[in-house]
Amino acid sequence: MTRTCETRGRLAIGWAIKRARELLEALWAWVAGGFGASSPGNEVIPPRRLRARTGAPGAADFVAGGRDAAHQLVLGLESAGKEVGTVRAVLDFGCGSGRVLPHIAALAPKARCFGCDVDQGAIAWADRHRPELSWAVSASQPLLPFRAESFDLVYSISVFSHLDEALQDRWLEELRRILVPGGVALLSVHGASALDEFRSGRASTSWCRSGAFARGPLGAGEFVFERYVLSVWNRSDLPGVGSRYGLTFHGAEYLRHHWSDWLEVVAVRERAISGWQDLVVCRRIG
């Protein structure tokens, strides 16, 4: 009981701090005349609450992180034998409020660029502030609102790192459906190094059960899913995701063996995204 109360107390304090920061930023934005007027590089950026859902509440980190992720995606694409300038249609699966897609669009000027997410508020903001790109609200389970073989590049950042195995399998099947034959999927996951961060205590979360990461290292063929414990304090930070959401960790051999039912795993680029998540380079065969 004491541990449960301590956990609830930490969640409540965290919630209060986040909301205070959001209110202060909103007040400053109102005084300064709106978001985007003095953002880094004079870029239009979403409000703090939407940025925080991508793991980068700070304005400078949001912009720099999106730019760096785009660069890593280009390197991943090249490892699959494809140049970003040849991409014709790209989907950011789980795009949030558009942290990465504008950078990809700048690198692939001939591509039709689409983003989809379960977060209606994030999509509404992106659609209003980035009208040159296409945005759609998606469901937490397949299908996506796109025809078969619509894209030659699909990428996702911090989606498969949060889904249970059964739901992942369904999404892998769906991504295969919307990829053209030979198309590339770049999907970020938590690997062995990410789990080590939680095991050692260098990373922590109050959203999972107590003691969730008191275990050994991640095996190469292992899949680990630790469901989030939803509460009044964190539900608003997880809009649209449903109950099958938490922290997920993938061993490299698991990826190569299990994911091959849908996509060929070309490479696993360790800690490519934010120095934290691995990037799985996949290709549709046939």
CB 171 within 8 A of CB 163: yes
Instruction: Please tell me the predicted confidence (pLDDT) of residue 18.
Output: 46
CA distances (Å), 188 to each of 17, 125, 137, 247, in order? 29, 24, 21, 13
What CATH number labels 48-283?
3.40.50.150
Give me the mean pLDDT over the 166-179 stretch.
98
Residue 237 pLDDT class (50, 70, 90 cuts): confident
Instruction: Please tell me the predicted confidence (pLDDT) of residue 38.
Output: 39
Beta strands across the sheet bearing 112-117: 134-137, 112-117, 89-93, 151-156, 179-189, 277-283, 264-273
Distance CA 146, CA 117 (A): 13
pLDDT at 193 over 50: yes
Phi, then psi, of 73 in degrees rounded to 5: -65, -40
Task: Write down the domain spans for the chain.
Answer: 48-283
Instruction: Please tell me the predicted confidence (pLDDT) of residue 54.
Output: 87
22-75 pLDDT per residue, tens = 344 443 343 344 444 334 455 789 999 999 988 889 999 999 999 999 999 999
What pairing do the DSSP bridges indicate for beta strands 223-227 and 179-189? unpaired
H helices of the chain, where? 2-32, 48-52, 59-79, 101-107, 120-129, 165-178, 192-200, 252-258
Residue 232, H or E segment: none
Task: Tell how many helices (H) and how many strands (E) occur in the chain.
Answer: 8, 9
Instruction: Please tell me the predicted confidence (pLDDT) of residue 42.
Output: 53
Percent helix, strand and coil across the chain, each rounded to 5?
A: 40, 20, 40
Give me the mean pLDDT over the 171-183 stretch.
98
Give me the mean pLDDT over the 130-149 stretch.
97
Answering whether pTM is above 0.85, one says yes
Number of Cβ within a 10 Å radius of residue 42:
8
